Amino acid sequence: MKYYIIFGPPGAGKGTQATAISERYNLKHISTGELLRKEMAEGTELGKKARELIDAGCLVPDEVVEGMIEAEFARNTEVDGFLLDGYPRTLAQAKALDLLLNKRGESVTEVVSLMIPDATIYERIRHRAGIEGREDDCKDEVIATRISTYHKKTEPIISFYKSAEKYTEIDGLGTVEQVRERIFGVLG
């Protein structure tokens, strides 16, 4: 099995690229946001636990998200691998993913990071907010918080995967097709 991570700041185009990547390489795309919504809609035990936490205004703890990802790995045996989108977001999650994959006798194959400047993040999130009706994402202070959180909590993962020689940065600017070709160039 292959285990790819699509990485980058909010608005970098991870979700936009995920479908084409998954189709080309026969991967199961795992978006943690979509996974949480699915588990809650299906009323699974993990979904019920997540719903209770969200309804109480709490973040879903790492172990719940990890349980959902592990269940998704077990459920999808007909694919050639997985494309993780939105996970890991912290160094602790990256280490937990390594432990989970080690138990399976496997490891992360490659991390592809879509790099865009902060100014572009603002533009893309505002644009997406207008299209999808996300009012909060229209506010500069909300976008600034998301960017700050990415730089503080998520960027430390870069060093972790660089030291494992599993990290490749690509330019996330250009057309969807140009960025997709750069990704395909990395994944082969």
Residue 75, pLDDT score: 92
Could you report the per-residue pLDDT of 126-181, keeping only the tens digit for each? Answer: 888 778 776 666 778 878 888 888 888 888 999 999 999 999 999 999 999 999 99
Phi-psi group of 81: left, alpha or beta (phi > 0 → left; psi -120 to 50 → alpha; rest → beta): left
CA–CA gap between residue 181 and residue 187 (Å, rounded): 10
Longest dimension (CA), the chain: 45
Beta bridge partners of 31: 85
Could you report the per-residue pLDDT of 44-58, keeping only the tens digit for each? Answer: 887 888 888 767 766
Classify domain 2-116+161-187 by CATH number.
3.40.50.300
Domain range list for the chain: 2-116+161-187
Strand order in the sheet with 81-85: 27-31, 81-85, 2-7, 110-115, 167-171
Could you report the per-residue pLDDT of 71-110, keeping only the tens digit for each? Answer: 899 999 999 999 999 899 889 999 999 999 999 999 999 9
Q: Across all residues in the chain, what is the average pLDDT?
A: 89
Is there a contact between 152 and 144 (Cβ–Cβ < 8 Å)? no
Look up the pTM and report it. Answer: 0.85
